Amino acid sequence: MALSATRDGLVGRLQKALSGKQLDAAVLDDVEHVLFGADIGARTAERLMTAVKHKLGGRELADFGKIEAALRAEAESILASVTVKPLDVSGDRPRVVLVLGVNGSGKTTTIGKLAAQLKGQGHKVLLGAGDTFRAAAADQLEVWAGRADVPIVTGPDGGDPSSVLFDAVKRGVSEGFDVVLCDTAGRLHTKVNLMEELKKVARSIGKACPGAPHEVLLVLDATVGQNAIAQAKQFGEAAPLTGIVLTKLDGTAKGGVVLGIVDELGVPVRLIGVGEQLSDLRPFDPSAFLDALFADERRAA
């Protein structure tokens, strides 16, 4: 998973907050404060605290290990509420993957890494440069297309993204591509404009390939914390998300955002980015993630 327990991780924060204190009902306020500060989100933090209070009696609150175990059990329940499955590139061809995300989230890099990985697995991959609003966005994606050695369909700067992606998917159909990865504009506009633009893009893609898009992935930067949850809510209202790609998750300090996203949106984290190498985009493993999030640095030493 490439996540490591650190003093900034959840267990480390709890140990620091509770060190030297008598573990009783009053200390639950400190636990709650740590959860709020771990980018889990208010709603999910309250859910975890409710579980701790429900599962543990007064005496058991004096046992840090039991508090930790109760938190982990509820975190496991949250992650188990959604089905985590690999990216689906099987079935009818081409499989069209629509990729969303704000500028700076790692969206373009994610598309490039995904293209390279799919190409390496033997798939015929095509990129569609649907971010026509950001200066040099298509150029950046073209660089990744070159690295991955896959073709790309581009349009003029400021052009209609729906038209570009229609052409890309149409080419994917006519030339027998296995996967078409579609980039989209990364700016945050008003909610109404965002919804209308994404609906138009989806309609255009569907006209070029009935049933598409088959996957709608939202790329989020783990380091922005609870802002990632807010972004996910906004995009989730604009498009039917099938999964989250969480980038820059190379430590547990911001790992709590995973729980908040899954709990509040009911959308699984499908892929994680844990570094700059192509191999650092990998499937999300809930068990490995929980092991890292709840690892005790002192026990690991």
pLDDT tops 90 at residue 36: no
- pLDDT of 59 above 80: no
Token match 């700059």: residue? 276
Average pLDDT over residues 48-74: 82
CA distance 252 to 256: 7
DSSP H or E stretch at residue 243: strand 243-247
* DSSP single-letter state for residue 179: E
Q: Sort 211 into a burial class: Cβ within 10 Å, 0-12 / 13-18 / 19+.
A: exposed
**Mean pLDDT within 10-20:** 76
pLDDT of residue 278: 80
What confidence score (pLDDT) does residue 189 get? 59
Please check whether the domain covering 95-284 is classified as CATH 1.10.1740.10.
Answer: no
Q: Which residue has the higher pLDDT, 26 or 67?
A: 67
Prior bond to 213 cis, omega within 30? yes
Report the percentage of the chain scoring pLDDT > 70.
Answer: 88
Q: Please state which of the ranges 46-50, 142-146, 183-187, 215-219 shows the lowest mean pLDDT.
A: 183-187
2 in helix, strand or coil? coil
**Pair 249, 222: CB distance under 8 Å:** yes
Mean pLDDT of 35-39: 82
pLDDT of residue 33: 84
Task: Average the pLDDT over each of 251-260, 274-283, 288-297 and give the range with the smallest value.
Answer: 251-260
For the chain, the domains span 10-83+293-300, 95-284
- Describe the crossing of helices 64-80 and 286-293 by its angle, rounded to 10 degrees: 150
| Cα–Cα distance, 121 to 213 (Å, whole number) | 21
User: pTM for this structure?
Assistant: 0.90
